[in-house]
């Protein structure tokens, strides 16, 4: 079937806007709203027997793996290892019995991820795949297919597939936690309610589109941009930097806030915008103190936080982007939106080919 951009100027923007619908569509397969429970499809193995999790992916999908590590460790109390597929397949990884191997891929055809999946299977590891294309090689080969229902993604830079992958990763984390006896019914209901609220909260985040478009010009002139975050917002910082690089060709780096003092702070001056992803919560003050260290050196800060966070730390920034108040579990799904929109509008301001950036392919089926 032909897919068109509708009223949108680019597929990327259309796909960013589809997120409330496709995330809801995806969650429908993994949530029983009446019981407020998570439910994965039937599987031929016992989740309670899982002792550790290894997540392997490439690019944007690998950040879903990194966020999954925070969630699975927190909720299921299982050790989690995350690696990019090109390293995993050649480093002779140790895969003891009890390992659940998880691949994450939009296309299900990325050569390195597919090779990593085959390596896990040959090593006797039980595998699951968070995959968007149900007819793909990976979808056929995994023991447990966890489909995302993002629909076809045309823009080379992944957006809606990413948030749908996060939704499924959250459901997997919760289900693992229940299977391991680490989450009681009450706790599960609370996280499921947060997940159910995700699509609406993503919609609320989309309302900042115009404000973000309005500030894109200030970022478009930069040569380097730094993104900072802590906890699950650290991989989001990596994703923000990747998105910006991919489509605007501006050099960008994502860093764990606490690591800034170990290197990137040397780069900071008035010419380097610093994008800080910091929902309120237990890590907020720590991130803010890292942000202030940078401000003291002239950094031009864009703070992405909620109303309480902005009230506390929004001074002396060049811009603030106010996100809704969110449950920590869904913060990455919501904070993905401003990060995607910022990259998009900066690229439009620079006049680059947003949907077909130079040198990149939608699906990399060669090594």
- Closest separation in Å from C-beta 266 to ligand G6P: 29
- Report the residue number, 113 or 201, with the smaller CB distance to ligand G6P: 113
Residue 172 structure tokens: 């997997």
- Report the residue number, 27 or 157, with the smaller CB distance to ligand G6P: 157
DSSP E strands: which ranges in 218-263? 224-229, 251-256
- Closest separation in Å from C-beta 308 to ligand G6P: 33
- Closest separation in Å from C-beta 285 to ligand G6P: 33
273: β partners: 300
- Closest separation in Å from C-beta 156 to ligand G6P: 5
Q: Strand, coil or helix: what is 328?
A: coil
Evaluate the CA torsion angle 224, 259, 288, 19 in order and state its sign. positive
Give the closest residue to 145 by CA, choosing from 291, 42, 14.
42
- Give one DSSP letter per residue of 109-143, joined into a string: --HHHHHHHHHHHHTT-EEEEEES-TTSHHHHHSS
Enzyme catalytic residues: 362
Give the closest residue to 251 by CA, choosing from 242, 260, 263, 262.
242
Q: Which residues of the shown chain bind ligand G6P in the complex (CB under 6 A)?
A: 58-61, 105-107, 110, 113, 156-158, 360, 362-364
Say which DSSP state 351 is in: T
- Report the residue number, 112 or 253, with the smaller CB distance to ligand G6P: 112
What number of residues does the chain have?
A: 367
- Report the residue number, 161 or 275, with the smaller CB distance to ligand G6P: 161
């Amino acid at each position: 079937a032909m897919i068109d951009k509708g009223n949108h100027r680019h597929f990327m923007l259309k796909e960013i806007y589809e997120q409330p619908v496709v995330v809801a569509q995806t969650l429908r397969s993994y949530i029983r709203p009446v019981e407020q429970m998570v439910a994965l499809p039937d599987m031929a193995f016992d989740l309670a027997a899982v002792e550790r999790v290894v997540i392997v992916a490439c690019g944007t999908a690998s950040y879903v793996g990194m966020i999954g590590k925070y969630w699975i460790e927190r909720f299921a109390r299982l050790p989690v290892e995350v690696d990019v597929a090109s390293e995993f397949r050649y480093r002779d990884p140790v895969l003891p019995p009890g390992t659940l191997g998880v691949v994450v891929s939009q296309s299900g055809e990325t050569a390195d991820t597919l090779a990593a999946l085959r390596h896990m299977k040959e090593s006797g590891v039980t595998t699951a795949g968070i995959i968007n294309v149900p007819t793909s090689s990976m979808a056929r080969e995994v023991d447990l297919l966890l489909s995302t229902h993002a629909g076809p993604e045309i823009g080379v830079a992944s957006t809606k597939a990413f948030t749908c992958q996060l939704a499924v990763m959250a459901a997997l984390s919760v289900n693992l936690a229940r299977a391991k006896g680490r989450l009681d019914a009450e706790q599960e209901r609370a996280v499921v309610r947060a997940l159910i609220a995700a699509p609406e909260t993503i919609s609320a985040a989309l309302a900042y589109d115009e404000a973000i478009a309005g500030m894109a010009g200030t970022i478009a002139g930069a040569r380097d941009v730094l993104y900072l975050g802590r906890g699950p917002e650290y991989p989001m910082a990596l994703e923000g930097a990747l998105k910006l690089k991919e489509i605007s060709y501006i050099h960008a780096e994502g860093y764990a806030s606490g690591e800034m003092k170990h290197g990137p702070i040397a780069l900071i001056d008035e010419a380097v915008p610093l994008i800080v992803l910091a929902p309120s919560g237990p890590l907020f003050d720590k991130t803010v103190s890292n942000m202030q260290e940078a401000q003291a050196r002239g950094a031009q800060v864009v703070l992405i936080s909620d109303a309480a966070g902005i009230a506390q730390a929004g001074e002396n920034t060049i811009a603030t982007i106010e996100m809704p108040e969110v449950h920590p579990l869904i913060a990455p799904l919501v904070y993905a939106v401003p990060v995607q929109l910022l990259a998009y509008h900066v690229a439009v301001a620079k006049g680059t080919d947003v949907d077909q950036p130079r040198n990149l392919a939608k699906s990399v089926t060669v090594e």
